[in-house]
Amino acid sequence: MRTKIFDNQTLITQIQRFSVNDGPGIRTNVFLKGCNLSCLWCHNPETQSFTKELYWKNRLCVQCGACFDVCPNEAINPPISPEEAKSEESTYYKIIKERCDNCMKCVDSCVNGALEIVGKALTIEEILDEVERDALFYKNSGGGMTLSGGEPTAHSDFANRLITSAKERDIHVCLDTSGFCSWEKLELLANKSDIILFDLKHIESIVHEKITGVPNELILENLSRLVDSGSEIWLRILVIPGFTDSIEYHRKVADYLSTLSRPLDRIDILAFHNWCEDKYSWLGRKWPMGESQAIDPADIDHLTDVYESSARKITIGGSGFDIRLNLKPKYALPTT
């Protein structure tokens, strides 16, 4: 069930300024809250739900009991010793989620910042006023706003109005999408955006459904249509341990890309990292990829060779300031 908000608002988890990895130049990323996929490795778990949520930051909690005292729904676990709660073996989590109705009285009572609301309803004007604070940097670097999430197409009406208003303010727009939506929604947003950042999760539909919750036929069809439409597309391919980290896998992706009507404008090959693990613990969730080791970008340099004929430009890491890479491999990817 989605949080009830006014028609001219939607939930935002973050407006991230000075980003250089999500489109050209210096950018401001607007993260919409709510996604129709549930990727095992999701690096932004706070954007998955369409409702407001709570972070409980264990390291800031002194177990004072103030939140326990004010909760009207008995949705707070009684305080225990801070040392016990913070131990590596502890399974203690402050919030009893099935009882919580997001009244947020606990947040108001916490003077240490251990409880934090995730998701803020903002209007288009409020978002763009924040984005425009860095207009000078956009002009000097070729940057702008990147609309991300979550999944922008899951908020298609709001996303359409936001992009339209951004273009009226002469703001360059990148649309970051998984492509899992109707073509009508995607086409509308793509036609108004300058660049499409298209996240390809997995090339095989059975595996795609296993690790994201949805098959990929619609996604690949939408990618093909975008290519045919002439949209500028930056395909983003994440190298994920155990799923997309073999050279054979990337050859399959390259074979598929060769069937498209033209080469892509750019491919960004992104190394899996585990910087998001704290966010899962703050949400009281276990990260399915928590035992996986981060991949060193230097270990995947040679994948540029696999995609040599698939795009006009290829990067490792996706920086908006990267030039075409032509790097020799330092290490081979596993073949199984």
Strands of the chain (E only): list them. 9-19, 27-32, 53-56, 115-118, 120-123, 144-148, 173-177, 195-200, 233-239, 266-271, 314-316
140 SS3 class: helix
First CA to last CA distance, the chain: 40
Q: In sequence order, what are the beta bridge partners of 176?
A: 197
Does some domain include residue 332? no
**What does pTM read for this prediction?**
0.91
* CA triple 57-59-64, angle to 5 deg: 85
Single out the residue of 182, 181, 44, 54 nearest to residue 114, CA to CA.
54
Residue owning tokens 């795009």: 311
| Spatial CB neighbours of 240, under 8 Å, sequence gap ≥ 6 | 41, 272, 289, 292
Does some domain include residue 330? no
Number of domains making up the chain: 2
* 154 and 106 within one domain: no
Does some domain include residue 326? no
> Residue 158 and residue 166: Cα distance in Å, rounded?
12
* 134 and 237 within one domain: yes
Q: How many residues does the chain have?
A: 336
Q: In sequence order, what are the beta bridge partners of 53?
A: 118
Tens digit of pLDDT at every position of the chain (336 positions): 455 555 689 999 999 999 999 999 999 999 999 999 999 999 999 999 999 999 999 999 999 999 999 999 999 999 999 999 999 899 999 999 999 999 999 999 999 999 999 999 999 999 999 999 999 999 999 999 999 999 999 999 999 999 999 999 999 999 999 999 999 999 999 999 999 999 999 999 999 999 999 999 999 999 999 999 999 999 999 999 999 999 999 999 999 999 999 999 999 999 999 999 999 999 999 999 999 999 999 999 999 999 999 999 999 998 865 433 333 333 334 443
Single out the residue of 230, 222, 232, 221 nearest to residue 265, CA to CA.
232
* 148 and 102 within one domain: no
Residue owning tokens 């990323």: 29
* 258 and 165 within one domain: yes
| Domain extent for 73 | 53-118
Does some domain include residue 2? no
Does some domain include residue 236? yes
* 260 and 154 within one domain: yes
* 134 and 229 within one domain: yes
Predicted local distance difference test score (pLDDT) of residue 38: 96
End position of a domain, from candidates 118, 139, 165: 118
Q: Are the C-beta atoms of 197 and 144 separated by less than 8 Å?
A: no
* 133 and 30 within one domain: yes
* 94 and 37 within one domain: no
* 127 and 236 within one domain: yes
* 238 and 149 within one domain: yes
CATH number of the domain within which 102 lies:
3.30.70.20
* 66 and 214 within one domain: no
* 105 and 196 within one domain: no
